[in-house]
Amino acid sequence: MHLLIPAAGMGRRMGSNRNKLLLSLLDRPLIAWTLEAADASREIRWIGLIGQPEDWPDFEAILAANPPSKPVQFIQGGSTRQESVYNGLQGLPPEATHVLIHDGARCLATPDLFDRCAESLRHCPGLIAAIPVKDTIKIVARDSQTIEQTPDRQQLWAAQTPQGFEVALLKQCHDRGKSLGWEVTDDAALFEKCDLPVQIVPGEESNLKVTTPMDLAIAEFILRQQRPELK
Instruction: Give per-residue pLDDT as tens, 42-52.
Output: 999 999 999 99
pTM of the model: 0.94
pLDDT tens digits for range 16-41 = 667 889 999 998 999 999 999 999 99
Q: Which residues of 16-34 are buried (b: 16+ CB within 10 A; e: fewer)?
A: eeebbbbbebeebbbbbbb
In this predicted structure, what is the pLDDT of residue 29?
A: 95
- Look at residue 16 in the predicted model and tell me its pLDDT: 63
Residue 229's pLDDT is what?
Answer: 79
Domain 2-230 CATH class label: alpha beta
Beta bridge partners of 140: 147
The arithmetic mean of pLDDT across residues 143-159, rounded, is: 93
SS3 147: strand
Average pLDDT over residues 179-200: 96
CA–CA separation, 23 and 96 (whole Å): 31
SS3 call for 200 = strand
Nearest-Å Rg of the Cα atoms of the chain is: 18
Contacts for 186 with CB less than 8 Å, ≥ 6 apart: 81, 128, 159, 161, 163
* Confidence (pLDDT) at 48: 98
CA 106, chain centre distance (Å):
6
Mean pLDDT of 194-199: 97
Q: What is the pLDDT of residue 126?
A: 98
pLDDT (tens digit per residue) in 197-215: 999 999 999 999 999 999 9
Q: Mean pLDDT throughout 162-188? A: 96
Q: How far is CA 2 from CA 115, 122, 131, 191, in A?
A: 12, 13, 23, 19
How many C-beta atoms lie closer than 10 Å to residue 169's C-beta? 16
